[in-house]
Amino acid sequence: MIKIALVGNPNSGKTTLFNELTGSNQFVGNWPGVTVEKKSGKMKYQDFEAEVVDLPGIYSLSTISLEEEIAARFVIDKKMDLIINIVDASSLERNLYLTYQLLDSDIPIVIALNCMDIVAKKLERIDVGVLEKELGVPVIPITASKKTGIDDLVRFLSGYDYSKQKREHRYEEIIETSIQKFTKLLDDRFLAIRFFEDGLKALESLKLTSETKAGLIEAYQQEVKRHGSIDFDMVLPNSRYETILKVCQKILTKNRLDVVSSTEKIDKIMTHKWF
pLDDT in tens, 149-198: 999 999 999 999 998 898 878 999 999 999 999 999 999 999 999 999 99
Taking the model in full, what pTM does it have?
0.89
Note whether 83 and 198 are same-domain residues: no
Residue type, 184: K
Does 135 map to a domain? Answer: yes
Does 131 map to a domain? Answer: yes
Pairing of strands 109-114, 139-141: parallel
Does 199 map to a domain? Answer: yes
Note whether 135 and 187 are same-domain residues: no
Note whether 7 and 100 are same-domain residues: yes
Contact 110, 160 (CB under 8 A): yes
Question: For 39-68, what is the mean pLDDT?
Answer: 93
Note whether 178 and 152 are same-domain residues: no
Note whether 62 and 83 are same-domain residues: yes
Contact 88, 115 (CB under 8 A): yes
Question: For 76-98, what is the mean pLDDT?
Answer: 96
Is 16 a residue whose pLDDT tops 50? yes
Note whether 30 and 58 are same-domain residues: yes
Q: Name the burial class of residue 108, with classes exposed (0-12), middle (13-18) and buried (19+) by CB atoms within 10 angstroms of its CB.
A: buried
Q: State the Cα–Cα distance between residues 66 and 204, nearest whole angstrom.
A: 15
pLDDT tier at 269, thresholds 50, 70, 90 = very low
Note whether 21 and 122 are same-domain residues: yes
Q: State the Cα–Cα distance between residues 107 and 169, nearest whole angstrom.
A: 13
Is 230 a residue whose pLDDT tops 80? no
Q: What is the pLDDT of residue 64?
A: 78
Q: Domain limits at 83?
A: 2-164
Note whether 209 and 108 are same-domain residues: no
Q: What is the pLDDT of residue 123?
A: 87
> Which residue, 164, 188, 216, sits at the end of a domain?
164
φ/ψ (deg, to 5) at 115:
65, 35
DSSP assigned state of 148 = B
Note whether 159 and 185 are same-domain residues: no
Total domains present in the chain: 2
Does 272 map to a domain? Answer: no
Note whether 52 and 145 are same-domain residues: yes
> Which residue, 143, 164, 185, sits at the end of a domain?
164
> Which residue, 122, 140, 164, sits at the end of a domain?
164
DSSP H or E run through 254:
strand 252-254
Note whether 39 and 88 are same-domain residues: yes
Does 241 map to a domain? Answer: no
Q: State the Cα–Cα distance between residues 32 and 21, nearest whole angstrom.
A: 24
Note whether 129 and 186 are same-domain residues: no
Looking up residue 90, the CATH number of its domain turns out to be 3.40.50.300
Q: Name the burial class of residue 77, with classes exposed (0-12), middle (13-18) and buried (19+) by CB atoms within 10 angstroms of its CB.
A: exposed
Does 248 map to a domain? Answer: no
